Amino acid sequence: MTRTHRKTLAAARAKAAAPKPKRAPKPPNTGHIFDDPDALTALRPDAVIIMNSIYTEEIRHELATRGLQPELLPL
């Protein structure tokens, strides 16, 4: 294997090992959109529905770090 081939192979491996950007999941046939938490800064929601109440304080903290204080509605 030549030096050029080793460099090319190393670059290809590094690219393959690089983390892929996460995309918001879309549940099938519901019309709901799950967005990145940073999108809330632009949306400025009045309320946030929390599907698992265990995470209420963590979500409150994350929202506060973004300057948001919406009503939290844990289910």
Helix %, strand %, coil % for the chain, to 5? 45, 10, 45
Predicted TM-score of the model (pTM): 0.57
Long-range contacts, 44-49 (Cβ 8 Å, 24+) = 44/68, 45/70, 46/70, 46/71, 47/71, 47/72, 47/73, 48/72, 48/73, 49/73, 49/75
| Structure confidence at residue 69 (pLDDT) | 95
**pLDDT digits 0-9 by tens, 28-69:** 777 777 777 888 888 899 999 999 999 999 999 999 999 999
| Structure confidence at residue 12 (pLDDT) | 67
